[in-house]
Amino acid sequence: MFKSKYLNVLQHNRIKNFIIYGIGQVFNLVSPLLVMPYLVAICEKEGLGKIGVGFSFALILNVLVDYGSYINGTKEISINRSNREIIKRKIVSVYIMKLFLIVILLLLAFLLICFVPFFNKEQAVFFFSFSYVIGQFINPTWVFQGLENYKWITFVNITSKIIYVAGVFIFINKKGDYIYANAFLGLGLIIASLIGVISLIKKYDLRLYKNVSKDALELLKKDFSLTFSQLFLSFYQYLPIMIISYVGGNNMAGQYRIIDQIIMTFRTYLQMFFNFIYADVCLQVHKNLKNGISQWFKYNGLNYVLVLSLLIIAVVSTKQILLYFNIRSNELESMTLFFKTGLIIPIFMAISMALKQLLFALDRNKEYINITIGSSFFSLFVFFILVKNIGLQGAFIATISIEILIIVLYGIVLKPIIRLSK
| Cβ contact 215:160 at 8 Å | no
Kindly write down the DSSP assignment for every residue of 297-344, as one continuous string.
HHHHHHHHHHHHHHHHHHHHTHHHHHHHTT--GGGHHHHHHHHHHHTT
Return the SS3 of 209.
Answer: coil
Question: pLDDT digits over 336-353, tens only?
Answer: 999 999 999 999 999 999
Amino acid 2: pLDDT? 47
Question: pLDDT digits over 90-144, tens only?
Answer: 999 999 999 999 999 999 999 999 999 989 999 999 999 999 999 999 999 999 9
Amino acid found at 159 = T
Total residue length of the chain: 422
Report the alpha-carbon distance of residue 184 to residue 33 in Å, rounded.
15
Amino acid 285: pLDDT? 82
**Burial code of 345-381, b = ≥16 C-beta within 10 A, e = fewer?**
bbbbbbbbbbbbbbbbbbebbebbbebbbebbeebbe
Report the alpha-carbon distance of residue 356 to residue 278 in Å, rounded.
11
Amino acid 422: pLDDT? 60
Amino acid 404: pLDDT? 93
C-alpha 345: how far from chain center: 16
312 contacts: CB under 8 Å, gap ≥ 6: none
136 contacts: CB under 8 Å, gap ≥ 6: 62, 65, 66, 189
Residues of the chain with pLDDT under 70: 1-12, 14, 420-422
